[in-house]
Amino acid sequence: MSSKLIAPSMLAADFGNLQRDTEMVNNSDADWFHIDVMDGHFVPNISYGMPVIAAIKKHATKPLDVHLMIEKPERYIEEFAKVGADIITVHYESTVHLHRTLRQIKDAGCKAGIVLNITTPLTVLQDILPECYMILLMSINPGFGGQKFEAITYKRIKNLRQMIDDQGLDTRIEVDGGVTDQNIQKLVEAGADTFVAGSHVFKSDAPIATIKTLKALANS
């Protein structure tokens, strides 16, 4: 299986010290920046948009993994690519013409992925899997950081890994929500390889050491 990646969620960063927190991620064992975009419609919360992403990009030395929690994301793909997105994931539940939206992401020069809410059946991925660089499985209800991990996710990762293997693909499986040093190894065992961690990293006393531990546990 491919190497395990850690993507700290900038939703939990200190926005008053965005450059400092971006540089902390640069200097850590993290692989990507996870960027949560929320519109107050698809999810009940509003986070940040293009200017903040551009500000992070200005200092980031690692790829930006942009998770769009917005209705009709096809309206903004080119703009997100322009401000520096490297990977863009869209929710299955947010766009009617998913296939077209994925093509749009790739045409904009980014890697494309699909996100599923915690109870959206995996079977919706069957035909579109070959188009995806990555599938993001939500392990919480999207909208807020700091929520408790939902255990149903283990079974979903296992089933999705089986579906990916059956098609002879090497699609990444990213997990988002409530990831900590307590569950990351079990998530790897289930078949995940990419891990978002927000509050566990940024609310810890030593974020760089916390990221180092997550990365070591995931690759052990």
63 binds ligand DX5 (CB under 6 A): no
176 binds ligand DX5 (CB under 6 A): yes
Catalytic residue among 31, 39, 86, 176: 176
Residue 185 near residue 216 (C-beta atoms within 8 A): no
User: Minimum distance between the CB of residue 107 and ligand DX5, rounded to whole angstroms?
Assistant: 25
**DSSP alpha helix (H) spans, the chain:** 18-26, 50-59, 77-82, 98-107, 152-166, 184-190, 199-202, 207-218
The verdict on whether residue 198 carries a ligand-binding annotation is yes
For residue 213, give both structure tokens: 């531990």
User: Minimum distance between the CB of residue 79 and ligand DX5, rounded to whole angstroms?
Assistant: 20
How far apart (Å, rounded) are the C-alpha atoms in residues 96 and 74?
A: 10
Residues 117, 120, 147, 204: which binds ligand DX5 (CB under 6 A)? 147
Catalytic residue among 31, 36, 39, 193: 36
Q: Catalytic annotation on 205?
A: no
The piece of 5-13, 91-99, 163-171, 204-212 that touches ligand DX5 (CB under 6 A) is 5-13
193 binds Zn ion (CB under 5 A): no
Residues 64, 176, 179, 207: which binds Zn ion (CB under 5 A)? 176
Strands across the sheet with 33-38, in order? 5-8, 194-197, 172-176, 134-138, 111-116, 87-91, 64-69, 33-38
For residue 103, give both structure tokens: 């093509």
36 binds Zn ion (CB under 5 A): yes
Q: Catalytic annotation on 176?
A: yes
Residues that bind ligand DX5 (CB under 6 A): 9, 11-12, 34, 36, 67, 140, 142-147, 176-179, 196-200
**Residue list for the binding site for a divalent metal cation:** 34, 36, 67, 176
Catalytic residue positions, numbered: 36, 176
